[in-house]
Structure 1
């Protein structure tokens, strides 16, 4: 499971819901979950969407070494 699929599972949303939130297609989400790089603008929208659901994400959660761990939650 890669960072995007873990984040999506943690947020409790379908690929289609995440796609709508990120303004991309469901196929794009599928590609991201299979390892395609997430464009920075989509990553920004993912960070903002996660925030609306009570989760704090940063670029490292999506791209960096922390991408192997769980997204951060608000205390």
Structure 2
């Protein structure tokens, strides 16, 4: 199992935006969110996409139970 939907929601993006960011179709993202296996190479693209949008995650956040961090913009505004 993986946490793709939670990560997408944390990023505040649609399935289409995520698909464009990781190089697949919106349909693929939907399948992944419903439980299709997320291959490590797709997970690596997800990590890079998330980082580009201010969310620092790793494989533990995708496949494990590590709690998702806040977006860097959210963290910065919480300290202001």
Does TM-score exceed 0.5, indicating one fold?
A: yes
Tell me if the contact between 1:57 and 1:72 (Cα under 8 Å) persists in the aligned partners.
no
Q: CA deviation at 1:13?
A: 0.6
Q: Which runs of 4+ in 1 moved over 6 A?
A: none
Give distance in 1, aligned partners of 2:58 and 2:30: 21
* Corresponding residue for residue 59 of structure 1: 59
Distance 1:33 1:71 in 2: 20
What is the SS of the residue equivalent to 1:65?
Answer: coil
2:52, 2:22 → 1: CA distance? 13
Q: Count the aligned residue pairs.
A: 72
| Structure 2 unpaired stretches of 5+ | 76-80
Which aligned pairs between 1:1-75 and structure 2 lie closer than 5 A?
Answer: 3-66=3-66, 69-71=67-69, 73-74=71-72
Tell me if structure 2 keeps the 8 A contact 1:7–1:71: no
Could you tell me which runs of 5 or more consecutive residues in structure 1 were left unpaired when the two chains were aligned: none
RMSD: 1.6
TM-score, L = length of structure 2: 0.79
